[in-house]
Structures are given as C-alpha cells and as structure tokens.
Amino acid sequence: MQNRLPTPIPTNPGLTLKKKPADPRRDLLKAGESLQRAPAPVSEGSPYLVDPDRLGEVVGADEPSFRSDQLREWLYRNPVLEARDMTNLPGDLRGALSHRLWPFEVEEHQSADRGATHKWLFRTGDQAAIESVVMGYRTRTTLCVSSQAGCALACTFCATGQFGFERHLQAGEIVAQVAYANAFLRDHPLRNSPTRVTNVVFMGMGEPLANYPRLRQAIGLMIGEMGMSARSLTVSTVGVVPGIRRLADDPWPVNLAVSLHAADDELRSRLVPLNRRYPLSEVEAAASYFFEKKGRRVSLEWTMIRGVNDHRTQADRLAAIARRLRAHVNLIALNPTPLSSDMPSTPQAIRRFAAALREGGVNVTVRDTRGTEIDAACGQLRVRSGRGS
Ligand code: SF4
C-alpha cells in the first residue's frame, strides 16, 4: 500500500529551482577523479548551512547573544518543521526564517509498513535530489541518510548508481536530514518506536567516504550539536580504501559497514566497478585495520541477487572473509530497480545462503526489506520521479 500523506511539511519558496543538465560523468575512473573537484554549492540561506558558532550572523547583530543559542537549540536539539514554532524567538526573526529554514524542499513523502517507515525525496535549490528513509523498530528509530546527490560509482544493481553523480552534499545538508526527521517525528510520532532518531546509517544515496571532509563535519555535528552517540552512527562504503583508513584514524567510535556483494574479484568488479581500483584484498586489509584501531566489529553487507551472488561458492568465500575479519554479515534481498533486470534471490535461496554462512561459523542476519511497497531502496524514488539530472 502506498500512502501519500497530506502535506504538513513546509516547502521553501525562497529557493530558486533550476534544471541542471545531465552529468555525463559515468565512467568510473573519470568520475573518481572528478569527485574530488565537484564543488558544493554556496549557501542558499538555510541556517543549517551556517557554522553553528556563526549563527549570530543569522539572528542579526542587534540581537542579544543568547538568541543564537536559542536558535542553535531549535536547529539541532529540538528541531521543528516550521520556524513559527520556535516559540522563544522574536516574531520578525521567525518570519525571516520561515522561507529558508530547510536547505531543501520536500518533493515527495511516502509512508509504508503501517506508518513505521517514511521516505522523503528532498530537492535542493540547485535541483539536487536527496533521499532519506526513517524506519521505526521496537528499540530504535533508524534514519538512512544520503551523503551525495547521485553517485559516481555505478554499482549495477543500484538505482542511484544508474543516474550518475550530481554533487557532494554539504555537511549541513546531511545533518538537516536528521533534523528534519526529528522535526517530523515530533509531530507524527511512530507508534511503537522511539520518537527521535536514535541511529543514523550513511546508506542512502552516494558513497560517504568519497565525500570525506563533509562526512566528517556531519558526524561532528551529529555528535557535538545533536548529542548523538558515535556508536549509533554507521558509515557504509562499497570499499573506498583510503576513506576506511581515514575513518579508522579519526577519533570517533563509529561503526563501519562494508558493502561486499561478491567474494571474488571477478564477480565483484562486475557488480561494484570500484573493485577494479580497490580489489577485495585491499578492502579486506582496510576493514581489518579499522577493526584493530577501533575495536569495533565491522559488518559486511550483501545484497542477494538471484542467480548472481546467491550460490554456495560465494557463501563459502564470504564466510572465509567474515571469519578473518570477525565480521557480522547482513543479507538483504535486492530491491529491483527499473533500469536493471536483476531480481532478488528467492526466500529459499536466502535461507540456504544464510545457513551456509552459519555452518561456516559466521554470525548472519537476514534484514527485512522495509518499504518494498514504496520505493525504499536508495535512488528509487528519484528514478520514479523522473527528475534525475
Ligand atoms: S550502491 Fe552505493 S556506492 Fe554503489 S552506486 Fe549505489 S549509492 Fe553508489
């Protein structure tokens, strides 16, 4: 069932929406180089795009200094959907913020799983698409955030990869996804789950480790400004080896999820073209370094694709890697994408694969496919919206 909600969500008429030409950077190696150069846009005026220590510039020079602390509290600790609900701010400041509180508009909002899953397609002023999904569970509420608009890495089974790369998201655009979900949950609490985001996974659109400086800033804001625990944050990568090592060397005890999807270089290079640059042995060595530095167990993500990577041979090879890394394996059935003929593995094949891993001494979880009746896998809402750049 697809449930389009009424729209209690403010849009942002202050933003100018301009259509951007298609980004031709689909080739992996070229895209990998251009990733480093793609600029983030200049601030569109949202306070989320302003350094929290400089919010005085947003509230105005005439305002007392405590005003910026009040605004800071509203933005990060106690977010609201509309500036008019920032009750202790003066009316003219609320009015000035009302059209530029968020750095994006809500283009589409869907809910599924009887209200336990919500997905948003946000659109920034320069037409970049951002997707976020919040999923309520009994003991946690997890938000999946995007770190880039689009993605250059072109994994064959991924809707985002099929559209190519638009640009890096700014740290404020990443953090605003968390703030927005919290503001939404304040007005629409989930029935049997925490009413705030307790966990953030960087598994939405984009490769977070290809946008490292802004990822780092966003993690700092989530911990320092929002009061989240580093242990509740999970960075997911398809194997950007230098990024894994940098994350290991950074101080926060965040979690690392490596999306493996194949346990030999030949198949992996087909599914995840980045493997040609960073082959499995290097990815494994970097994951091992992360585990040694952080003392935190790495998880290996495996999208189950029918007849492609759900064979016994792959399970045995994966088990060997997982044992060496002392890693946990998460299996998830493919969410089919419109531009690929790949299908999810059958439930029986997933059970057999999981059993083979367990026989091999590996901890494994078969993850539920939340929101399959909406377009919950990353990039799917954008594909269907037909507005990819
Ligand atoms: S799976 Fe992740 S890294 Fe691969 S194309 Fe999709 S968003 Fe990019």
The tens place of each residue's pLDDT in the chain, 389 residues long, gives 333 333 333 334 333 333 333 333 333 333 333 333 344 443 459 999 999 999 999 998 888 989 999 999 999 999 999 999 999 999 999 999 999 999 999 999 999 988 899 999 999 999 999 999 999 999 999 999 999 999 999 999 998 888 889 999 999 999 999 999 999 999 999 999 999 999 999 999 999 999 999 999 999 999 999 999 999 999 999 999 999 999 999 999 999 999 999 999 999 999 999 999 999 999 999 999 999 999 999 999 999 999 999 999 999 999 999 999 999 999 999 988 877 889 999 999 999 999 999 999 999 999 877 655 555 555 555 555 544 33
Q: Are residue 340 and residue 208 in the same domain, yes or no? A: yes
- Of the three residues 53, 86, 101, the one that is the final residue of a domain is 101
Any domain includes 264: yes
- Dihedral through CA 258, CA 168, CA 196, CA 46, nearest 10? 170
Tell me how far the alpha carbon of residue 386 lies from the centroid of ligand 1, in angstroms.
Answer: 19
In a domain, 97, yes or no: yes
Rounded to whole angstroms, the Cα distance separating 384 from 203 reads 19
Q: How many A from CA of 299 to the centre of ligand 1?
A: 17
Q: Is 166 in the pocket of ligand 1 (CB under 6 A)?
A: no
Inter-residue contact 269 to 263 (CB < 8 Å): no
Q: Is 151 in the pocket of ligand 1 (CB under 6 A)?
A: yes
Q: What's the whole-model pTM score? A: 0.87
Q: What are phi and psi of 237, to 5 degrees?
A: -140, 150
Contacts of 351 (CB under 8 A, 6+ apart): 366
Within this chain, do residues 93 and 130 fall inside the same structural domain, yes or no? no
Q: Are residues 166 and 292 in the same domain?
A: yes
In total, the chain counts a number of residues equal to: 389
161 lines ligand 1 (CB under 6 A): yes
From 27, 133, 155, the mutation candidate for ligand 1 (largest count of ligand atoms within 8 A of CB) is 155
Distance CA(43)–CA(58), nearest Å, equals 12
Range of the domain at 60: 44-101
Rg (CA), the chain: 21
Q: What does 10-49 look like in DSSP terms, one character per residue?
A: ---TTSPP-PPPPP---SHHHHHHHHHHPPPPPP-S-GGG
Report CA dihedral (183, 187, 192, 195) to the nearest 10 degrees. Answer: 30
Quick one: which atom of ligand 1 is closest to the CA of 259?
Answer: 1
H helices within the chain, ranges in order? 28-37, 56-59, 66-72, 91-98, 159-163, 171-187, 212-224, 241-249, 265-271, 280-294, 312-325, 347-359, 380-385
**What is 83-142 written as a DSSP string?**
GGG-TTS-HHHHHHHHTTSSSSEEEEEEEEGGGTEEEEEEE-TT--EEEEEEEE-SS-EE
Tokens (6 digits) for 201: 């996974």
- Rounded to whole angstroms, how far apart are CA atoms 71 and 69? 5
Kindly state whether residues 184 and 298 are assigned to the same domain.
yes
Task: Clarify whether residues 159 and 267 are in a common domain.
Answer: yes
Going from the Cα of 151 to the center of ligand 1, the distance in angstroms, rounded, reads 6
Q: Is the CB of residue 260 less than 8 Å from the CB of residue 330?
A: no
Is the C-beta atom of 322 inside 6 A of ligand 1?
A: no
49 inside domain: yes
Binding site membership of 332 for ligand 1 (Cβ less than 6 Å): no
First to last CA, the chain: 28
> Which residues are catalytic, by number?
131, 378
State whether 115 and 263 are in the same domain.
yes
Q: Mark whether 128 and 84 lie in a shared domain.
A: no
Q: What span, in angstroms and rounded, lies between the C-alpha atoms of 145 and 169? A: 11
Question: What single-letter amino acid sits at 334?
Answer: L
The pick from 144, 153, 244 for probing ligand 1's pocket by mutation, whose C-beta has the most ligand atoms within 8 angstroms, reads: 153
- Specify the CATH number for the domain of residue 231: 3.20.20.70
Same domain, 204 and 331: yes
d(CA 298, CA 62): 50
Residue nearest ligand 1's atom 5 by CA: 161
What is the domain count for the chain? 2
pLDDT tens profile 291-336: 999 999 999 999 999 999 999 999 999 999 999 999 999 999 998 8
Q: Is there a single domain that holds both residue 224 and residue 118? A: yes
Verify that 57 and 160 share a domain, yes or no: no
Residue 118, classified by CB atoms within 10 Å of its CB into exposed (0-12), middle (13-18) or buried (19+), is buried
- 221 in the same domain as 155: yes
The response to whether residue 205 sits with its C-beta less than 6 Å from ligand 1 reads: yes
Three-class secondary structure of residue 234 per DSSP: strand
Identify whether residues 223 and 367 lie together within a single domain.
Answer: yes
Q: Which of 70, 123, 198, 170 is nearest to 385 (CA)?
A: 123
What are the two backbone dihedrals, phi and then psi, of residue 12, each rounded to the nearest 5 degrees? Answer: -125, 85
